[in-house]
A and B are shown apart, each in its own frame.
Chain A
């Protein structure tokens, strides 16, 4: 136990400031938290759906939970059910074999039902394109609010995309 506490103390807090989202300058965690509360009235709950990705984007979404990006510290968390989610983070070209599952997941999400398409494949089908097995872009299957290009997009870009989708939700209200 002592060695665990010692290491926690030695490493300290490595969390870095959150990125800007579009026009806004780099934001402090408190500002983002307040903004999310203003807009949603609660913490932002995100459900990640891999609709056909190579798993590269998932690695970067995972990274958002590491102490550097500290997503939960900003008032956002990944949830296990679409019914608990405000936002879907969708990766991959949508495969034909995942199409129904993605549509049903989208239907299960309550309002505001934000959708962020993460990665080049989710944006346009990427290198896989459209075929007998792939529908390509996520927007071919469900409505998309924000697209985050990149192969895979680094964690900060994904975070930026999440923040701009939240800001869009303010406009929609």
Chain B
């Protein structure tokens, strides 16, 4: 029972998942981290809020996933000079989140080793903290053009650096990778992200809570359904609003469609990165069919803005449900055939097997999560661990592998794709009757809500805090990529530089989702 290790009163938030909130002091903050670590549970997110407009103080927050659910603890700080205890000794992936807290709110983790900025690239002044409530939304700093970054140097005979990015050779998001190599072997990779930081969290403050799901749906475009759902769940939990069963089923249908679309795209791209163009041609054709079907059923290829506070924005009729069931069956057969081709292709398997390995031990120690985590023996999947309607009636099969290489991440995708097709067909066959939304009649004041959704990449968390007048004080969107980017640095060690695109694609992490 890890719940008892939080030495504070935890209050349950009215969310569909078991989510609790409580305040701790510095001692409680440290004890919680230690107990969660010792209990083998995970840090989900770390962020901070300026609650001074609510007559309180700065609060640094941590969300932990424990067997009993999610626990959100807040540590109030008297002022910006009071540091909070560093969590990196227990959770190494907290490091970048703490650096982001420093950049956005000017709060410090006491004794944290890495003090370099993370999201602030020198394009705004070091004493401007955008998420403080008194930071003017109209502030502009054209005279700040950026500053250089202290990459960790690697010395030795024959060692050289390969800088890559932020503009990459392919059609992907921007980020910088600094490789230190000997010949073609990678000794070390250091990532520098933050290039697509566009001030999303500050932007939330100026949106009405009932409208902000549109912004949440654009935190990471490939996970738009998941983010919109997590945001709506947070708002609905703050408002103690129940959504109709039909709305929950339609949300799950769209979430699984999003998973299928992304897995189809990745399976094709992974074939292509191993020079198997046939795979890209076939899977990109199937993905296009799938996106067109999403557009036919829900009116948008990626189903943006279809999840809204209180439910969903569009219904599907019987003909669309029948078409979806048929499509799932046909696609399942095609993918099964392609899986045999992938499995039987010696050249492809040679590239996939043992490439970019993260062992289960390392994954546990450093907190690898989501799809990549499941390929390295980390079984967490919210749809199985805390099934809420409609997942509670679907008995979702989790896909877990232990090899932790590119091949394992490919196999998890194949397994999950087949399972998602089964889920969609089942949801179509059993869609409950009734309304598709409960109207959000009242935006709560000075309330708090949380959303937690198993997106295709991993768990997305949204922590929402509302002001006394019902405006958004803070909306923190957390992408699982925060935890997995650091593990990519480990996965490439000892591999050859030309395998990096393949390894990177097998993780397919979000830049926009972590840069915010």
Contacts and interface: CB of A to CB of B under 8 A. Distances in A.
Interface stretch (A35-43, A99-107, A159-167): A99-107
A57 B197 CA distance: 17
Contact of B284 (A60, A63, A131): A63
A54 B512 contact: yes
B196 A132 contact: no
Interface string A115-146: 00000000000111111111000000000000
B394 interface: no
A49 interface: yes
B195 A66 contact: no
Interface size grouping (class) on chain A: 35 or more
B302 A129 contact: no
Nearest to B262: A59
Interface size grouping (class) on chain B: 35 or more
A85 to B, nearest CB: 11
The residue in A8, A101, A126 that gathers the most chain B C-beta atoms within 10 A of its C-beta is: A101
B364 interface: no
B79 interface: no
A99 B203 contact: no
Contact of A132 (B130, B195, B215, B304): B130
A56 B302 contact: yes
B82 to A, nearest CB: 25
A7 B345 CA distance: 15
Nearest to B283: A66
B195 A95 contact: yes
B140 interface: yes
Given A55-B221, A66-B288, A131 B198 contact: yes
Interface in B475-507: none
B488 to A, nearest CB: 17
B511 A55 contact: yes
A130 B278 CA distance: 42
B285 A68 contact: yes
Given A56-B224, A96-B124, A63 B341 contact: no
A116 to B, nearest CB: 14
B340 A133 contact: no
Interface stretch (B1-9, B87-95, B162-170, B425-433): B162-170
Contacts of B196: 50, 52-53, 92, 95, 97-98
Contacts of A63: 284, 287-288, 291
B167 A56 contact: no
Given A50-B174, A55-B512, A128 B200 contact: yes
Contacts of B169: 80-81
A129 B288 CA distance: 30
B167 A101 contact: yes
B198 A93 contact: yes
B282 A100 contact: no
- SS of B interface (majority): loop
Contacts of B198: 52, 92-93, 95, 128, 131, 133-134
A100 B195 CA distance: 11
A62 interface: yes
Contacts of A48: 171
Contacts of B139: 131-132
A55 B287 CA distance: 16
Interface string B251-286: 000000000000001000000000000100110110
A20 interface: no
Nearest to B301: A154
Given A92-B196, A151-B304, A54 B341 contact: no
A133 B146 CA distance: 12
A132 B128 contact: yes
Given A96-B124, A97-B123, A56 B287 contact: no
A67 interface: yes
B55 interface: no
Interface of B: 121, 123-124, 128, 130, 135, 137, 139-141, 144-146, 166-167, 169-174, 194-200, 202-203, 214-215, 218-222, 224, 265, 278, 281-282, 284-285, 287-288, 291, 301-302, 304, 337-338, 340-341, 344, 510-512, 515
15 contacts: A3-B344, A7-B282, A50-B173, A56-B218, A56-B304, A59-B221, A59-B222, A67-B281, A96-B123, A97-B121, A101-B174, A131-B199, A131-B202, A133-B197, A133-B199
Given A63-B287, A96-B197, 9 more contacts: A14-B285, A48-B171, A59-B221, A66-B288, A67-B281, A96-B121, A101-B174, A105-B167, A132-B130
7 closest cross-chain pairs (CB), A and B: A56-B221, A133-B199, A80-B169, A96-B123, A66-B284, A54-B221, A131-B199
